[in-house]
Amino acid sequence: MTTQNSGAPRASLSVTDGALMMVGIIIGIGIFKTPQLVAMFSPNEYAFVALWICGGLTTLIGALVYAELAAAYPSTGGEYHFLSRAFGLPVGFLFAWARTTVIQTGAIAAVAFVFGDYAQELFSLGAYGSAIYGAAALLMLTLLNLAGTYQSKTAQNVLTSLLVLAMASMVVIGLMNLGAKPPAPAAGGGPGYGMLGLAMVFILLTYGGWNEAAYLSGDVRNVGRDMVRILLAGTTIVTLIYVLVNIGYLFALGLDGMRKSDAIAAEVMRTAFGPSGAVIVSAIVCLAALSTMNATIFTGARLYHALGQDLSLARLRVWDQVRNNPRNAIILQSAIAFVLICFGAMARDGFKAMVEYTAPVFWFFLMLVGISLFVLRRRDPKHPRPFKVPLYPVTPILFCLICAYLIYSSLVYTGRGALFGIAVLLVGVPLIGLVRKKRRVAAAAE
C-alpha cells in the first residue's frame, strides 16, 4: 500500500472546527418545522419554552455519555468502534450495516429533500424538482469532501457561521415585533400537561445529530481534552439558539398564533420584509440543509473507513494522505444516498418517508451505545478515561431510558417506512456469518 493510501488520518480538527461541525449538523430543518407541533402540545408559553430547555438538557446527557466513550476510545469509527469493543464485531457490523443502508444515508437523503423542497420555492424544476435539487446538492457536496478535509471543514465553518447569523437575525426580528413587552399568556383551550411527552419527541428530533461528533474523534488534535469541549460547546450553542429562536417566535406570533401557523418562520420574516420574507426563509432553510448535508457526509464516511480496516476491505480502508480523507468511503456513501433519493422521489413526501425509514433503527443503536458505557466500564476498569461522565450511573441510565421511549414513539407514530427500515436492518443479520468468515481468513493470512 502506498503512503497516499495508508489508513492513518492526520488529526487536524480544532475545538472550533469540531463544535461548528456539530452545530452545523444539528441546526437543520427541524427548527422550521417542529415549533408549531410543540406549541400545539404545550399548555402555555412557559411550558413551551421549558420544553426546549429540557431538550437541550437531554441532549447534554447524551453528549456527556459520548464524551467519555470518544475520549477513552478515539476512532474514526465512532459508535461502531464503541459497540464493537463492548459487544463484539458482529454487533458492530450490524450497526455499520444499519448506518450505511438506513441511518446515515437516509439522513443525508432526507435533508437533500428538504433542500430540494425549499429550492423549488425559489425556482421550480417541475414535479421531480425536489429530487433533482437534492441530487445536485449531494453531488456538489460529495465533490467538495473529495477535494480534501481542509476544504470541507472550511466550507462547514463558513456555512455554520452564516447559519448562526441568520438564526440570530430571526431572533432579533421576532423580539422587535412587540418591543420589550412580553407576550400575554394564551387563553384557555390549550392542551393539558399530558401531551408534553409527545412534544418532547418532536423537540429531540430537532436536536438530533449531536452524536455525529463521535466520528470526529479520530480527526481531533487533542482528543482526550478536546472531545469533551466540542460536545459541550456544540450542545450549549444549539440550545441557546433554539431557545432564543422560539422566544422570538412567541414574541412575534404568540402561542395561539404559532399553533395556527403552518409556516412560523415565514410569517415572522413576512412581518419584517413583506412578501419577500418567504423567499428569505427559503434561502435560510436551503443554507441550513447544505450545512447539515456537508457535515453529515464528512462524519458518515469515517465509519466506512473504520469498517474497511476491521474487515480488511482494501478499497474501503483507503485513506488519501494528500487530501486527508477516506475518498472511497465518501463515494460509496453518496452512491447509497443517491439511490435513497431516487426511492424517496417515488413517495408523496420524500422527507417524511426518510424520517420514518431511519427513526426506530437510529434510537435502538443509540440506546446500545449508552449500554456499552456500562459494559466497557466493567470490562476495562483500568483503561485511561480522560473524561468520566458525571453522576454515573444515573446519567447513562437516563440516556438509555430516553432512547427506549423514543424507540417506542418512533414505532407508534410513524408509518410503513419504519417497518421497511427495520426489514433492511434484519437483512444484515445473515451477513454476520460472512463477516466472521472474513475475519478468520484475514487472521490466518497474518
**C-beta of residue 250 within 8 angstroms of C-beta of residue 129:** no
Strand partners, 325: 320
Phi, psi of 325 (to 5 degrees): -150, 160
Residue indicated by cell numbers 477516506: 326
pLDDT of 2: 44
**C-beta of residue 189 within 8 angstroms of C-beta of residue 267:** no
Residue indicated by cell numbers 476495562: 380
**C-beta of residue 242 within 8 angstroms of C-beta of residue 206:** yes
For residue 173 the three cell numbers come to 426580528
CB crowding 341-367: b at 16 or more within 10 Å, else e: bebbbeeeebbbbbbbbbbbbbbbbbb
CA nearest neighbour of 107 among 287, 332, 330, 293: 293
Within 13 Å of residue 67, how many CA atoms lie on the same side as its CB? Answer: 25
Strand partners, 320: 325
For residue 146 the three cell numbers come to 473529495
Give the global pTM. 0.79
Domain 15-445 has CATH 1.20.1740.10: yes
The CA-to-CA distance between both ends of the chain, in Å, stands at 16
CA 287 and chain centroid, separation: 16
Q: How far apart are CA 380 and CA 168, in angstroms?
A: 45
Per-residue pLDDT tens listing for the chain (446 residues): 444 455 556 777 889 998 998 898 888 777 877 888 788 888 888 889 999 999 999 899 999 999 999 989 988 788 999 999 999 988 998 998 888 887 888 888 888 888 888 888 788 888 888 889 999 999 999 999 999 988 998 999 999 999 888 888 888 887 776 544 444 554 555 555 555 666 777 788 789 888 888 888 778 888 888 888 999 999 999 999 999 999 988 888 888 888 887 667 777 777 777 778 778 888 888 898 899 899 889 888 888 777 777 776 777 778 888 888 888 889 999 999 999 888 877 765 555 666 667 778 888 999 999 999 999 999 999 999 999 999 999 999 999 998 998 888 777 766 666 777 888 888 888 888 777 776 676 566 65
Residue 387 makes CB contacts below 8 A (sequence gap 6+) with: 67, 68, 71, 72, 224, 227, 228
Residue 198 makes CB contacts below 8 A (sequence gap 6+) with: 41, 409
pLDDT of 417: 67
For the chain, domain boundaries: 15-445
pLDDT of 44: 85
**C-beta of residue 137 within 8 angstroms of C-beta of residue 113:** no
At 86, the amino acid letter reads A
3-state secondary structure the chain: CCCCCCCCCCCCECHHHHHHHHHHHHCCCHHHHHHHHHHHCCCCHHHHHHHHHHHHHHHHHHHHHHHHHHHHCCCCCCHHHHHHHHHCHHHHHHHHHHHHHHHHHHHHHHHHHHHHHHHHHHCCCCCCHHHHHHHHHHHHHHHHHHHCHHHHHHHHHHHHHHHHHHHHHHHHHHHHCCCCCCCCCCCCCCCCHHHHHHHHHHHHHHCCCHHHHHHHCCCECCHHHHHHHHHHHHHHHHHHHHHHHHHHHHHHHHHHHHHHCCCHHHHHHHHHHCCHHHHHHHHHHHHHHHHHHHHHHHHHHHHHHHHHHHCCCCCCCCCECCCCECHHHHHHHHHHHHHHHHHHHCCCCHHHHHHHHHHHHHHHHHHHHHHHHHHHHHHCCCCCCCCCCCCCCHHHHHHHHHHHHHHHHHHHHCCHHHHHHHHHHHHCCCHHHHHHHHHHHHHHHC
C-alpha distances out from residue 325 to 97, 299, 314, Å = 21, 11, 15
**C-beta of residue 258 within 8 angstroms of C-beta of residue 264:** yes
pLDDT of 180: 40
Strand partners, 13: 220
